[in-house]
Structure 1
Amino acid sequence: MIHLLLFLFAFAGFAMLCAARDRHQRDLLGRKLRAGTAVRMRRGGLFLLLLAYPVAGLALGWGYGAVEWLGQLSGGALLTVLLLTHLSARGATGR
């Protein structure tokens, strides 16, 4: 269960970081968010990514937890990129 929680932290963190960028806001929302909202999303994304490390360390031990954390970050980043690519391509074709 901890593995799923770490993956969700990683995915949500990277998704928030992507949504904080102007280009991705236009691709996903069709408009630009206010600067304050983008800053809060950026901070929230970083917070989730950093929060996953002590959660992994406390739940799995600091040695294995660090490895698990890096693996879950990689998986979360990959899923974020794949979904963002899919949604951007879908928006470009007008669907």
Structure 2
Amino acid sequence: MDLSINLSVIIGFLLSVMLSIIAWFIRQLHQDFRRVQEQVNLLQQTAKVIQSESRSAYELLKLRISFLDWRIGGQSLHDEQFKEEEYEKNK
């Protein structure tokens, strides 16, 4: 009888230790998953910020290009008018 009690106590102790170790590993795994989730969220936010910055930079660049096209177009139009005036004067 004494041997069966000792054996059940030892088995109970070993099971308790093993379950404690498993619970500790699961808790650590859960913390790691939380950290990974936070890092993924931070990465997504950073990607959205970079995307919006590049989009606004693209819009600004498009605006500057259209302004320069307008200036060049206006300048060439002015040059054509000047050439026509010179042609008329030379006739």
- The bucket for the TM-score relative to the shorter chain is 0.3 to 0.5
More helix by share: 2
Q: If you compute each CA radius of gyration, which structure gives the higher value, 1 or 2? A: 2
More contact order relative to length (CA 8 Å, sep ≥ 6)? 1
TM-score by length of 1: 0.35
